[in-house]
């Protein structure tokens, strides 16, 4: 069963209010969900903020019904239906849509002006449908996710266009910025000719008593880091009597590589693998 979109909560919400009484939003949303036949599984879906998706969408439905005067709020968190709302439901018993609300903007009985969600003209029809299915809060979260994904893709493209040394230094700079070096630590990139399977070393203290060994592999997107590469890295750590290591790649790790890293035995082992 498809999860109801935010506008699909409007008609059942109006039906809940047809008794003319004033009801709390929480109760309206729950009753509307019952009318929509939401399963227990659908009620447990959360949005990025941690709120139940059905409650969030139901709340937005009530909010926009109030904007066009279909419901009114006599007090905070309480709603009751208006004559505009009764006519809206009567005219569209099969379901109230965003288009129906937009048409109310010219209704003298509607005290609020309806403003449709902005939709960039460059989006495809599919993308538009996906956006309209989300409530405003979900649209924001989805937009942020798309921006992050786009920035990550552009960053990876720039990294792959540079020489491997650039990526190695970028990884060390990143780890230092993340606090791996502690308050007084420093990072050193090893020489290419004799790195022994280690691309960089982070000293977490001024005396170099606590070190993190780093390997950075700039591989093409379609490549996969296998068990052999991780096994060689663990061997390099053991050769340096190290117990802390970070392996970072621009590609992906094979399952066997991840499994080996998780089972690798080093003194007080603290090794990890990361893909960017």
Q: At 258, list the tokens.
A: 């991840």
pLDDT in tens, 19-64: 999 999 999 999 999 999 999 999 999 988 888 999 999 999 999 8
CATH assignment of 6-118, among 3.30.930.10, 1.20.1740.10, 1.10.10.10, 1.20.1370.10:
1.10.10.10
pLDDT in tens, 70-83: 999 998 889 999 99
pLDDT in tens, 121-160: 333 334 334 445 677 788 788 778 778 877 887 788 888 8
pLDDT interval class at 272 (50, 70, 90): low
Q: What backbone phi and psi angles, to 5 degrees, belong to 223?
A: -75, 160
User: What is the end-to-end Cα distance of the chain in Å, rounded?
Assistant: 35
Q: Is the pLDDT confidence value at 205 over 80?
A: no
| Whole-number average pLDDT of the chain | 81
Q: Is the pLDDT confidence value at 91 over 50?
A: yes
Judged by phi (left if over 0) then psi (alpha if -120 to 50, else beta), residue 236 lies in: alpha
Report the percentage of the chain scoring pLDDT > 70: 80
How do beta strands 244-249 and 23-24 pair?
A: unpaired
CATH assignment of 164-275, among 3.40.1350.10, 1.10.1060.10, 3.20.20.80, 3.20.20.70:
3.40.1350.10
Average pLDDT score over residue span 156-166: 86
Report the percentage of the chain scoring pLDDT > 90: 33
Q: Domain-by-domain residue ranges, the chain? A: 6-118, 164-275
Please tell me the distance from the alpha carbon of residue 51 to that of residue 45, in angstroms, as a whole number: 8
Q: What's the confidence (pLDDT) of residue 11?
A: 96
């Amino acid at each position: 069963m498809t999860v109801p979109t935010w506008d699909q909560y409007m008609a059942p919400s109006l039906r809940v209010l047809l008794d003319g009484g004033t009801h709390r939003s929480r109760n309206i949303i729950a009753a509307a969900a019952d009318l929509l036949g939401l399963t227990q599984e659908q009620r447990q879906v959360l949005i990025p903020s941690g709120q139940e998706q059905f409650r969030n969408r139901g709340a937005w439905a009530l909010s926009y019904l109030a904007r066009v005067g279909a419901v009114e709020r006599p007090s905070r968190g309480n709603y009751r239906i208006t004559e505009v709302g009764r006519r809206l439901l009567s005219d569209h018993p099969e379901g109230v849509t965003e288009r129906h609300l937009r048409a109310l903007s010219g209704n003298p009985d509607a005290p609020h002006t309806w403003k449709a969600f902005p939709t960039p003209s460059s989006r495809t029809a599919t993308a538009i449908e996906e956006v309209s299915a989300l409530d405003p809060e979900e649209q924001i979260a989805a937009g942020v996710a798309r921006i992050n994904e786009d920035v990550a893709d552009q960053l990876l493209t720039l990294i792959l266009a540079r020489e491997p040394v650039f990526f190695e230094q970028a990884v060390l700079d990143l780890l230092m910025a993340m606090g791996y070096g502690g308050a007084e630590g420093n990072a050193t990139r090893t020489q290419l000719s004799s790195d022994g399977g280690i691309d960089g070393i982070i000293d977490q203290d001024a005396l170099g008593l606590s070190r993190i060994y780093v390997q950075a592999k700039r591989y093409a997107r379609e490549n996969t880091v296998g068990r052999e590469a991780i096994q060689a890295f663990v061997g390099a750590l053991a050769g340096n009597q190290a117990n802390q290591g970070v392996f970072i790649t621009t590609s992906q790790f094979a399952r066997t590589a991840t499994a080996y890293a998780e089972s690798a035995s080093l003194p007080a082992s603290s090794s990890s693998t990361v893909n960017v």
